[in-house]
Amino acid sequence: MFKKIAVLNGDGIGPEVTRQSVKVLKAIAEQFDHEFIFTEALIGADAIDKTGSPLPSETIDICLDSDAILFGAIGHPKYDNDPSAKVRPEQGLLGLRKALQLYANIRPVTTYPTLHFLSPLKTKNIEDVDFVIFRELTGGIYFGKKELSEDGQSASDDCSYTKEEIERVSHLAFKAAQQRKKKLTLVDKANVLETSRLWRKVVQEIAPQYADVTVDYLFVDNAAMQIILNPKQFDVVLTENMFGDIISDEASVISGSLGLLPSASVGNRTALFEPIHGSYPQAAGKDIANPVGSILSAAMLLDHIGLPEEAALVRNAVTWTIENRFVTKDIDPINFYFTSTVGELVIDYINKNFFERVNNENIELRKSTII
């Protein structure tokens, strides 16, 4: 198979985690005789520094001309602490989502038995948790009209949704539920917000087309509590843009580290794959960030381009590293492996080198320890 993949490294730890995914995809291409061509493009603070724009038009062109996009992370502290900044790195990602009409962001939440101890939640509550968040990604308050009064004394952000915007992501969520445990939970705030009432109405209208899927509804405040109290109840969670942003970070607590979770953003054009974590500037350039969220995003990319066997091999390789505690500092602050080493170990597994290497001093040598 021949595929063109756009690589948008972005900011902070973006480049170093994405580098591991590119290495992994190259190893997959070699093993399975595919040809993947990678083209890098600028986005975020990095793009502002180099071109003045967080989303140069060349980046959009490269993405549109590719079969899939691998995205790193976005954001830089120099903009976070400057509310008056006119140009912000995040505009790059938001602009790209809009330009490519990436209306559905799919965020699976799974757990690894060996990592239960990392979660502040009780093991019995998080064992076998397996749900997926479908977050609407190109509408709502993120993209509504924004205003700051001339005297700087008041500001507003509009939240609006059309029926069509709700329908298209809802259909994807229902279809996913049919392939899973056949339960869909709509998270909204229909007791207060008009947009949420429209979401409920549209989902109720669509539901009969998916008669095998059980639908329930939760207000977002209650959902935020349920995700912590009893996350096993969820299968597919469908929600609007901002609620999805918030509950997906919250849900990462179940897995134990924000660094583990991947996501796929899909629409009518090229799909984009990115870890859910941010740019983690404190760790940038230190080779300590967790590449697993990015590598599992690459696995979602492989599924998306029709390579499920290859995707499964990447997931198995990641699970193998985690089970053998070849993990980064966020997971084991004492005996940890570097970002690049975890990437290499995933590739060893893909190349089946691990049989020779697993008990080998080689691995031990690459372990770092603060003791």
Q: Which residues contact ligand IPM (rule: CB under 6 A)?
A: 74-75, 90, 93-94, 245, 276
Q: CB of residue 154 vs Mn ion: minimum separation in angstroms? A: 26
Rg (alpha carbons) of the chain, rounded to whole number: 21
3-state percent breakdown (helix, strand, coil) of the chain, nearest 5: 50, 20, 30
CB 17 within 8 A of CB 290: yes
Q: CB of residue 55 vs ligand IPM: minimum separation in angstroms? A: 12
Partner whose binding site includes residue 90, from ligand IPM, Mn ion, none (CB under 5 to 8 Å by kind): ligand IPM
Q: Considering beta carbons, is residue 74 or 260 the nearer one to ligand IPM?
A: 74
Q: Which residue has the tokens 């942003």?
A: 245
Q: CB of residue 93 vs ligand IPM: minimum separation in angstroms? A: 5
CB 91 within 8 A of CB 29: no
What is d(CA 24, CA 219) in angstroms, rounded to the nearest whole number? 40
Task: Give the nearest residue (CB) to Mn ion.
Answer: 245
Partner whose binding site includes residue 16, from Mn ion, ligand IPM, none (CB under 5 to 8 Å by kind): none
What is d(CA 36, CA 39) in angstroms, rounded to the nearest whole number? 10
Q: Is 245 in the site for Mn ion (CB under 5 A)?
A: yes
What HEC string does 14-39 produce?
A: HHHHHHHHHHHHHHHHHHHCCEEEEE
Strand partners, 236: 132, 184
Partner whose binding site includes residue 259, from ligand IPM, Mn ion, none (CB under 5 to 8 Å by kind): none
Compute CA distances 60 → 15, 90, 260, whole Å. 19, 15, 28
Q: Which positions are catalytic?
A: 142, 189, 221, 245, 249
Partner whose binding site includes residue 93, from Mn ion, ligand IPM, none (CB under 5 to 8 Å by kind): ligand IPM
Number of Cβ atoms within 10 Å of the Cβ of 177:
23
Q: CB of residue 141 vs ligand IPM: minimum separation in angstroms? A: 11
Residues 6 or more apart from 360 whose CB is under 8 A from it?
Answer: none
Q: CB of residue 117 vs ligand IPM: minimum separation in angstroms? A: 26
Angle between helices 292-304 and 308-323 in degrees, nearest 10 = 160
Q: What is the distance in angstroms between the CA of the first residue and the CA of the last residue of the chain?
A: 47
Alpha-carbon torsion (124, 126, 131, 135), positive or negative: positive
Instruction: Provide the H-helix boundaries in the chain.
Output: 14-32, 44-51, 57-64, 77-80, 90-99, 123-126, 163-179, 194-206, 220-229, 241-255, 292-304, 308-323, 339-350, 354-357, 361-365
Q: CB of residue 70 vs ligand IPM: minimum separation in angstroms? A: 14
Q: CB of residue 166 vs ligand IPM: minimum separation in angstroms? A: 18
> Angle at Cα 79 formed by Cα 73 and Cα 84, nearest 5°?
140
